[in-house]
Amino acid sequence: MFSLLYGLWKYLFSKAEFHVLILGIDKAGKTTLLEKLKTLYSEIEGLPPDRIVPTVGLNIGRAEAYKAKLIFWDLGGQLGLRTIWEKYFEEAHAVIYVVDAACQSRFEDTKSALEKVLRHEDLHDAPFLIFANKQDLQEAFSADELANYLDLKELNDRPNLFQSISAFDGSGIRDGISWLVEAMRKSKRTEMLRHRADAVVVA
Ligand SMILES: Nc1nc2c(ncn2[C@@H]2O[C@H](COP(=O)(O)OP(=O)(O)OP(=O)(O)O)[C@@H](O)[C@H]2O)c(=O)[nH]1
Ligand SMILES: [Mg+2]
């Protein structure tokens, strides 16, 4: 009886927990973003940009935002490391894809990496938040300009948002995260992942 009531209490009052993958090619600013997210949404002060090195393994960050628990997985974006990304797809509720919006010469590389991610069946129905990063630099493309440039048809059949941000000064990040939490709450994928987890508990 106690465990039944405890289970009901937990179901009603515990905060939803979401796994968010942070992807993008190398030097896009993923780890700088992760550290800024810690500063904005957790008790921990994130590392300053000058202490961040290129990612080889996995960086994890935990945060609470808009009454949800968020677990961020930040992976390395160097060419040889991108094959690791798909190992995390199945468990992810959503993807934040970070683009260095000030580096037009790498837009084709970022586009083809993003297309591969979008076409992967293990990410079916996942909401995508695309951050046009480095807006503190004058040459940066805005979110709308980047969306036009990338012109990704694969985004049309899933929730998505292009958002201008600077991982340096934090501008735009809150707007993106508030959209993402709402999108994950409403997402068919969240429902699918919840059913899968319930099935494992029952078995
Ligand atoms: N001007 C500016 N520079 C940024 C911003 N975000 C990141 N950078 C710089 O971009 C470079 C790469 O940042 P990282 O956060 O290491 O990039 P990453 O995407 O994690 O790279 P990998 O781990 O190699 O995949 C660093 O020199 C950062 O200081 C930003 O918002 N504005
Ligand atoms: Mg990194």
Cα atoms in the Cβ-side hemisphere of radius 13 Å centred on 114? 27
Predicted local confidence at residue 8, as pLDDT:
67
* Whether 180 contacts 65, CB under 8 Å: no
- Tallying the residues shown for the chain, one arrives at 203
The interface pTM score, or ipTM, of the predicted complex is: 0.99
Cβ atoms within 10 Å of 103's Cβ, excluding its own: 19
- pLDDT, tens digit, for every residue of 130-184? 999 999 999 999 999 999 999 999 998 899 999 999 999 999 999 999 999 999 9
Cα(29) to ligand 1 centroid in Å equals 3
Name the residue with tokens 């800024």. Answer: 36
CA end-to-end span of the chain, whole Å?
Answer: 20
Which of 182, 136, 177, 194 is closest to 37 using CA atoms?
177
The ligand 1 atom nearest the CA atom of 49: 29
Q: In angstroms, rounded to a whole number, what is the distance separating the alpha carbons of residues 131 and 198?
A: 33
Cα(30) to ligand 1 centroid in Å equals 6
Name the residue with tokens 């968010």. Answer: 20
β-strands 94-100, 68-75: how paired?
unpaired
Predicted local confidence at residue 110, as pLDDT:
98
Report the sign of the C-alpha dihedral through residues 11, 42, 19, 95, in that order.
positive
Q: Band of the pLDDT at 3, cuts 50, 70, 90?
A: confident
Domains of the chain: 14-202 (3.40.50.300)
**Does ligand 1 come within 6 angstroms of the Cβ of 110?**
no
Q: In angstroms, rounded to a whole number, what is the distance separating the alpha carbons of residues 4 and 8?
A: 6
Strand spans (E) along 3-84: 16-23, 58-65, 68-75
Q: In angstroms, rounded to a whole number, what is the distance separating the alpha carbons of residues 23 and 129?
A: 10
Q: What is the dihedral of CA 170, 77, 48, 65, to 10 degrees?
A: 50
- pLDDT, tens digit, for every residue of 62-108? 999 999 999 999 999 999 999 999 999 999 999 999 999 999 999 99
Which of 75, 88, 69, 89 is closest to 181 using CA atoms?
69
- pLDDT, tens digit, for every residue of 36-55? 999 999 999 999 999 999 99
Residue nearest to atom 32 of ligand 1 (CA): 134
